[in-house]
Amino acid sequence: MLAEPDEVHLWAIDLDPPPSEAARRVAATTDGERERAARFWRREDGDRYLSAHGALRLVLAECLACDPLAMCFADGEHGKPFLDGAPVEFNLSHSSDLALIAVARSRRVGVDVERVRSVADLDDLAGRVCTPAELATLATLAETHRARAFLSMWTRKEALAKATGDGIGGVMRDAHATDADARSWTVVEVDDLPGYVACVVGEGSGWRVVRRTMAALTERR
């Protein structure tokens, strides 16, 4: 089912599914995707890559009522994939054992998810990618909360960069990474994923996030 014009559908994907679901996702991937997965240093990372990309193909196949292997992805200038001529915009992000897929109809969209964890050299990294206002916010937080807050800031920047298709370098220090609505982008934080922080950014305003699940897709097939 394709999203309505005022919706962004968001799929939360377990990247370590039961064997039958894992096999279904692998069957939906191409030879090229499997070859890329085989080049990962860790087998677990390759398996999760296939799980995420197989799930993406299954989700888009449902939206477009087509064979998941019939879709041909192309890359934009900064590497954002798209389906040429299809009335759907989408984005994929994954971290550890969770992936998020955002799908919209004729509305640019980006999504990012990060597992909450310690961040090495956080002060140095924040100094290079955060705005002065963000740095001021981080400075007020206790050490135990700073990594989560920084990762939350990062997901907003990354989701916006993926939505615009301009690449992460264009938003790192730009004010619109934290004031997206003023530039015709809406930011929605996803706050019900234990152990993770995530964000969806979509073009324009007046749209809502609709949660979807792979289980519901499986039941219909």
Cβ pair 101, 11 in contact under 8 A: yes
pLDDT at residue 197 in the model:
97
The domain in which residue 39 lies consists of: 7-220
In a domain, 33, yes or no: yes
In a domain, 181, yes or no: yes
The pair of three-digit structure tokens given for residue 116, joined into one six-digit string = 């909450």
Strand partners, 207: none
Q: Tally the domains of the chain.
A: 1
> How far is Cα 9 from Cα 4, in angstroms, rounded to an integer?
9
Q: Please state whether 100 falls in left (phi above 0), alpha (psi between -120 and 50) or beta.
A: beta
> How far is Cα 93 from Cα 159, in angstroms, rounded to an integer?
9
The better pLDDT of the pair 184, 220 is held by 184
Question: Does position 124 have pLDDT exceeding 60, yes or no?
Answer: yes
Question: Does position 181 have pLDDT exceeding 50, yes or no?
Answer: no
Q: Average per-residue pLDDT in the chain?
A: 88
Exposure string for 55-65, b = 16+ CB within 10 A, e = fewer: bbbbbbbbbbe
In a domain, 1, yes or no: no
Query: In this predicted model, what pLDDT tens digit does every residue of 88-103 receive, in sequence order?
Result: 999 999 999 999 999 9
- Could you tell me how many residues make up the chain? 221
Question: pTM (2 decimals)?
Answer: 0.90
Q: CATH number of the domain that 22 lies in?
A: 3.90.470.20
> How far is Cα 216 from Cα 138, in angstroms, rounded to an integer?
40
Question: Does position 142 have pLDDT exceeding 80, yes or no?
Answer: yes
In a domain, 90, yes or no: yes
In a domain, 166, yes or no: yes
In a domain, 2, yes or no: no
* Residues 2-18, mean pLDDT to the nearest whole number: 92
Query: In this predicted model, what pLDDT tens digit does every residue of 49-84 receive, in sequence order?
Result: 999 999 999 999 999 999 999 998 888 777 788 888
